[in-house]
Each structure stands twice: as C-alpha cells, then as structure tokens.
Structure 1
Amino acid sequence: MRSLIEQFMKFGVVGFVAFFIDYGVLMLLSQGFGVDAVLSAGISFCVSVVFNYVASMRFVFTHRDDLSRSREFFIFIILSVIGLVINELIMLAGVAALGDSALTVTITKLVATVIVLVWNFFSRKKWLDGRDAE
C-alpha cells in the first residue's frame, strides 16, 4: 500500500506540472487571444498530454515488458482521449452553466482536473504499469 501511495504522489507531482501547462495554455488562448474556452481547453489538454506521457512513463510507471513503446504510447493516447472527453464534457457543462469569465473557467477547470486525475491514475496503473500490484 505504501508504494501505491508513493506512486500516486509522484503521479500528483507530474500531474501538477501538467496542470500548469494545461492551465497556462487554456488561459493564454481563451483569455489572451479570445479563443472559445471549450476549444482552448481541448488544445491545452492535448499539449499537456505530451509532457504527461514522457514524465509519467519515466518517473511514475514502470514499462511493461509485454508492450512495445509504440503500443504503450497508443494505449496512453487512448486513455488520454477518454480523459479529454471527460474534461471537455465538464468544461462544456461548466461554461454553459456558469459563463466563460476567467474565474468560472478556472473553477470549472479545477473540477475537471480532479476528476480526470483520478481516471488517469487508475486507468494507467491498470493498463500500462509493469509494477506488480501491491
């Protein structure tokens, strides 16, 4: 159980950095350039996925011997796309209900981030981690 907690903490650090990449791009596009907040959220999410893959597979999860790197990346992308769909649905609902001011976009993004964080950790743990479950 302790190693699971440590792994989740590492995942949290990677996710924290990925969140700021995601959030920074979101705010730059939506507030700085006036791009639609939902579209901006999708773009920012995709940018952060690249960082997240590299950092997660280097510092959090152990490569599975039965997966090639290309298959590993493909599974990572599929799991991330599911996370993106969850993110976009939450952003769409939040912006529709609360508006698209910087504060409401931020609140909506925080809610989406927590939910997607849980999805990402447990789905990647199940399908990508080569470490034995403890």
Structure 2
Amino acid sequence: MKKLINQLIKFGIVGGIAFVIDYGLLYICTEWFGIYYFISAIISFSVSVIFNYIASILWVFDVDKNKSKTTNFIVFIALSIVGLGINQIIMWYGVEILHIYYMIVKLVATVIVMIFNFITRKIFLE
C-alpha cells in the first residue's frame, strides 16, 4: 500500500508538471500565436506526453524489465494516443456543443485523462 501511495504522489508531481506544460502551451499557441484551440490542444498534449513519458519511465512506474524499451515506448504512446482522443472529444464537446471556454474545458479533460493514464499505465507498464 505504501508503494502505491508513493507512486500516486510521484504520478501527481509528474502530472502536475505535465499539466503546466500542456495548459501553458495550449494558451500560448492559441492566444499568442492564433492557432485554432483544437490544433493547439494536440500540440500541447503531445509535448506534455514526451515529458510525461520520460518522467514516468525514470521515476514513477516500476517498468517491467522483461519488456524491451521499444515495447514500453510503443505501449506508452498507444495509451497516450487513446488519452489524446479522450482529450480531443472532451475539448470538442465542451467548446463546440456546450459553449464553455476552452481553458475551462481543458481542466475537465485533464482530470479525466489523468485518471485514464494512471490506471492504464499501471496495468500495461508494470
């Protein structure tokens, strides 16, 4: 149980940093560079995934040493693509259908994707 709590704390720290990267880049790309929010969300999410991968593999999860680094990377990226899909569906629905400000919708999307990420990475990477 202590191991799981430590892992959740580390996941939270990594996730918090990844969130700052994701949220910050979303805002910068959209507001400063005039990129459509939906495209900005893909860019920001992708950059945060790269950080998250490196930090998760090195610090958060006890990665299965029997799997190759390539296999772990492919699994991580596949799960991240699903997470991106969830993120984009929530962003589209919240902004286009519910007419909520994109930065608020991003907060909801982040929480849902973070839960998805922890559960699936725990299952498939350890």
TM range (shorter): over 0.9
CA–CA distance in structure 2, aligned partners of residues 106 and 6 of structure 1: 30
Q: Does 1:23 align with 2:23?
A: yes
Deviation at 1:43, TM superposition (A): 0.9
2:38 is matched with which residue? 38
Aligned residue pair count: 125
For residue 105 of structure 1, the aligned residue among 80, 102, 106 is: 102
Deviation at 1:98, TM superposition (A): 1.7
2:61 is matched with which residue? 61
- The alignment's C-alpha RMSD in Å is 0.9
Secondary structure in 2 matching 1:51: helix
CA–CA distance in structure 2, aligned partners of residues 41 and 63 of structure 1: 28
Secondary structure in 2 matching 1:98: coil
Deviations 1:70-95 (A, max 9, x none): 11000000000000000000000111
AA at the equivalent of 1:98: H
Deviation at 1:3, TM superposition (A): 1.7
The structure whose RCO (Cα within 8 Å, separation 6+) is larger is 1
What is the TM-score when the length of structure 1 is the normalising length?
0.90
Over 3 Å off, 4+ runs:
none
Moved more, 2-11 or 13-22: 2-11
1:121 is matched with which residue? 118
What is the TM-score when the length of structure 2 is the normalising length?
0.95
Q: Does 1:7 align with 2:7?
A: yes
AA at the equivalent of 2:62: T
AA at the equivalent of 1:19: F
Deviation at 1:2, TM superposition (A): 2.5
Percentage of identical aligned residues: 49
Q: Does 1:71 align with 2:71?
A: yes
